[in-house]
Amino acid sequence: MPTFLDNSWFRNIYCNLVENDSARCASGGWFGDGILPNNLAWLAYTVAAFVICFAILNALLGSVIVYIWAWRRVFARFQRRSGPNRWGPFGMLTTVADAIKTMFKEDVVPAEADRLIFNIAPVLMVVPVFMVFAVIPFGAGTFFVDLNVGILFIIAVTSGSVLAVVMAAYGSANRVAIFSGMRSVALLMSYEIPMAISVIGAVMVAGSLSLGRIVEAQDVPFIIVMPLGFLVFAICALAESNQTPFDIAEAESELGSGYLNDYSSMKFGMFYLAEFAAGIAAAAIITTVFLSGWRGWWPIPSQFWFFGKMGAVLFGMMWIRFTWPRLRPDQVMGLAWKGLFELTLINLLSTGIMVAVFADEEAPGDLFSANELWIMAAVNWVVFVVSIWAIGKVLAPKPYRAAMLEAPVQLYPVGVDEMPAVKAAGAAD
Amino acid sequence: MNLFEVSGSTTAAFWAASALAIGAAVMVVTVKNVFRASIFLAFSFIGVAGLYFVLSAEFIGIVQILVYVGAVSVLVAFAVMLVRDVSGGNRSIGKPVVALVIAALVGASLIFVAYETSWQRIDDIANADAVAGLAGTYVGSDAPGLPSGESIVSAAGADALGAQRGVFADTTGVIGTLLIKDFLLAFEIIGMVLTAALIGALAIMRERRTT
């Protein structure tokens, strides 16, 4: 049972500060051989926490800069134009210039705004996204913390961004912002439910909520074992990170930019940062839970496998984003409640039955072997095809009734209060 | 388990979480703007979740954040937006004596429950584990409500880091087992009640046909 501090970067930093010997630090009390004197365990704890925060923060900020550049270049290729190409090789410094420009812009706060709420909201928007990276294993032994409730931690923490959206919407004292905030809250809350349930399949097969254990369980990647779970999770992750088919909250053509309307300068930059970092976080979670995380074949180091898979997922997300139109709010809600929710329940049922069938009574903690996973995959693919076909049938738009189209056009008689009843075509007189 | 016997970092975390929970709760009742009060309520929930983490009940702490911060406080904030005078809406009801009596009764009952609860058993588990220093040998068969033969005690009892973290490990599994084995009926009844409440809310909110 891996405990809170076992074998992570956090614990290594902590133990070096306290004791200089990880093995002894794990086995006994603290007898200040390390950098810090005795009885300063809490200081070591704090220092380790700060080092970890510093590492996460800067790595993520750097990768967001790179991601935005890649995003713009790929977007340009999709639209057959060249994209940013002036600053630096292949326009790589454009995002850096953009970031500097954003920082030096004038910071405007609307006169009617609730200043406290208005100013805190961007910060609260960024915090949950960054916290996700604390539990993700980036490679073999390359992780900060392996919480034994890891995946639940991610779902709980990301739900905090709903509050930030409400605060931004209310704080800017703007009707359009309130509309967009309400849309956003409805979307985030609806997609959280299928998202959480689709993860349960992976959790059942792995027998643990810890992300390290989920990676360990994937002798066959879970995208093959439970395609339905992957599909639902990927769609929900797109929706939660506010990507285009689901960006009803920003919706430039209807709401301006929604709750971002009144934000300027670095406060807007924070929202922008949170959106792109959320995309990266979603890709990292999908990689870990469904694409067997850092696992790969021998000569290439595990970290490269992780970031390679993550890049592939990000490219797929960009592809969807650049080629799909925005859905209407009612279509978005309908998809979550009428389509994805049922699909996750079907996935949960089929996977749960097979977990119960294959579970070994004598060794409850054991992982499933590759053969058992392949059998599960075979059954789940049949379930996948059948249920997608059935849900597609149910959700497909109804064809127009022929009677409506063929109804004879009748003029509205002048001086008559009532519209004469329209006869259906073919109806007997 | 005496709080002050465990390490300094746990104590520091306890005081920080308590300060957040109580400070935010005080702000909820003192601040004038109702919307701000609802946001402070969310921070108070986060502080309570922190207390659960200090007590090594990760599952409860996570669910506290998921349900209360992610959902309940947002609903509260939306309900507050329906109030006409948001910035000055948190008025006193003008009956300080009644409020004082009710608050005193609630406080007294909480203190009474705290005194009546047998904390000894939790202490025993901690001591047995620390003294024996064995891996999960404590069998919860004498603890009512726990499935016999299931170990609820940390496998790393002698582990200093484990001890600093608290007594119980893997509360998630134990809670899950209890919910779908021992308390299945109660669990299902709660599910039925919530479904009925949801359908009732829909029935009330449904648009009536005017004809």
Residues of chain A contacting B161 with CB distance shorter than 8 Å: 3-6, 11, 25-26
Nearest Cα to Cα of residue A349 among A387, A297, A316, A314: A387
**In this structure, are B73 and B11 located in the same domain?**
yes
pLDDT tens digits, one per residue of B154-168: 443 334 434 444 445
> Lowest mean pLDDT: which of A136-150, A355-369, B33-47, B108-122?
A355-369
Task: Identify whether B113 is part of a domain.
Answer: no
Point out the least confidently predicted range of A81-85, A133-137, A141-145, B179-183: A141-145
ipTM: 0.75
Across the interface, do A163 and B39 touch by the CB < 8 Å criterion?
yes
| Residue B2: other Cβ atoms inside 10 A | 7
CA distance A29 to A365: 30
Do both B128 and B175 map to the same domain? yes
Q: Which of A182-196, B121-135, B146-160, B195-209 has the highest mean pLDDT?
A: A182-196
User: How far apart are the C-alpha atoms of A283 and A6, rounded to whole Å?
Assistant: 26
With CA atoms as reference, the chain B residue closest to A43 would be B9
**Residue A19's pLDDT is what?**
60
- pLDDT surpasses 90 at A51: no
Express each pLDDT in B102-161 by its tens digit: 999 999 999 999 888 877 666 666 555 555 544 443 333 344 444 444 344 444 333 443
Are B65 and A157 in contact by the 8 Å Cβ rule? The answer is: yes
- Whether residues B76 and B151 share a domain: the answer is no
Q: Which of B42, B66, B172 sits opposite A163 (nearest CB)?
A: B42
Contact B70 A5 (CB under 8 A): no
Inter-CA distances, B1 with B51, B128, B155, Å: 15, 12, 18
SS3 state of residue A144: coil
Taking the C-alpha atoms of residue B81 and residue A244, their distance in angstroms, rounded to an integer, is 28
pLDDT higher than 90, residue B23: yes
| Mean pLDDT of all residues in B77-88 | 73
Do B139 and B81 sit in the same domain of this protein? no
Residues of B in contact with A155 (CB under 8 A): 66
For residue B148, is it within any domain?
yes
Judge if B77 and B153 occupy the same domain.
no
**Prediction pTM value:** 0.79
The mean per-residue pLDDT over the stretch A163-182 comes to 86
**Residue B75's CATH number:** 1.20.120.1200
* Interface residue of A120, A170, A209 to substitute, partner B, most B CBs within 10 Å: A170
Q: Tell me what the pLDDT averaged over chain A comes to.
A: 81
**Does one domain contain both B86 and B27?**
yes
| Within-domain flag for B197 | yes
Domain boundary among B76, B93, B110: B93
**Interchain pair B159, A117: CB under 8 A:** no
Residues in B touching A149 (Cβ below 8 Å) = 58-59, 62, 172
What is the per-residue pLDDT for B54? 82
Instruction: Catalogue the E-assigned strands of B29-157.
Output: none
Number of alpha carbons in the 13 Å side-chain half-sphere of residue A428:
0
Residue B48 · residue B64 · CB < 8 Å: yes
Per-residue pLDDT, B4: 39
**Model confidence over A119-140: pLDDT tens digits?**
888 998 898 888 888 888 887 7
The answer to whether residues A135 and A147 touch, using CB atoms and an 8 Å cutoff, is: yes
Interface of B with A in 37-96 (CB under 8 A): 39, 42, 58-59, 62-63, 65-66, 69-71, 73-74, 77-78, 81, 87
Tokens of B208: 């009536």
Q: Is residue B88 domain-shared with residue B10, that is, in the same domain?
A: yes
Structurally, chain B folds into a number of domains equal to 2
Q: Exposed, middle or buried: residue A180 (CB in 10 Å: 0-12, 13-18, 19+)?
A: buried
Distance CA A389, CA A383 (A): 10
Chain B residue numbers with beta carbons less than 8 Å from the beta carbon of A259 are none
Residue B15 domain flag: yes
Q: Hey, which of A33-47, A150-164, A245-259, A352-366 has the most confident mean pLDDT? A: A150-164
- Phi and psi (nearest 5°) for A425? -65, 135
Task: Give which of A274, A288, A17, A37 is closest to A143, Cα–Cα.
Answer: A288
Is residue B108 a part of any domain in this protein? Answer: no
Share of chain B above pLDDT 90, in %: 19
Could you tell me the pLDDT band of residue A286, with boundaries at 50, 70 and 90? very high
Answer yes or no: do B199 and B146 share one domain: yes
CB A217 within 8 Å of CB A367: yes
Pairwise CB contact (< 8 Å): B81 & A170? yes
State the count of interchain CB pairs (< 8 A) between A and B: 107
For chain A, the 3-state helix, strand and coil shares in percent, each to the nearest 5, are: 65, 0, 35
Are residues B165 and A4, on separate chains, in Cβ contact within 8 Å?
yes
Q: pLDDT value at position B53?
A: 83
Residue B155 lies in a domain: yes
Residues B139 and B66 in one domain: no
Contact B69 A11 (CB under 8 A): no
- In this prediction, residue B137 carries a pLDDT of 39
Cβ A5–B165 below 8 Å, yes or no? yes
pLDDT at A41: 63
Q: How far is A128 from chain B (nearest CA, A)?
A: 11
Question: Which residues of chain B lie closer than 8 angstroms to A116, CB-CB?
Answer: 36
Q: Which residue of B has its CA nearest to A15?
A: B161
More confident site: A381 or B149: A381
CB contact (8 A) between residue A45 and residue B9: yes
Confidence of residue A233 (pLDDT cuts 50, 70, 90): very high
Q: Is residue B117 part of a domain?
A: no
The answer to whether residue B104 sits within a structural domain is: no
Indicate if B130 and B88 belong to the same structural domain: no
Q: At what angle do helices A150-158 and A175-206 cross, to 10 degrees?
A: 170
Residue A42 has its nearest CB partner, among B9, B42, B73, at: B9
Mutate to test the interface with A, among B46, B69, B151 (most CBs of A within 10 A): B69
Contact between B39 and A189 using a beta-carbon 8 Å cutoff: no
A29–B contact, CB cutoff 8 A: yes
Range of the domain at B197: 122-203
Question: Is residue A129 a contact partner of residue A161, using CB atoms and an 8 Å limit?
Answer: yes
Closest by Cβ to A156, choosing from B70, B74, B81: B70
Residue A290 clears pLDDT 70, i.e. is over it:
yes
Which of B74, B93, B112 corresponds to the end of one domain? B93
* Stretch A285-310: mean pLDDT: 87
Per-residue pLDDT at B158: 37
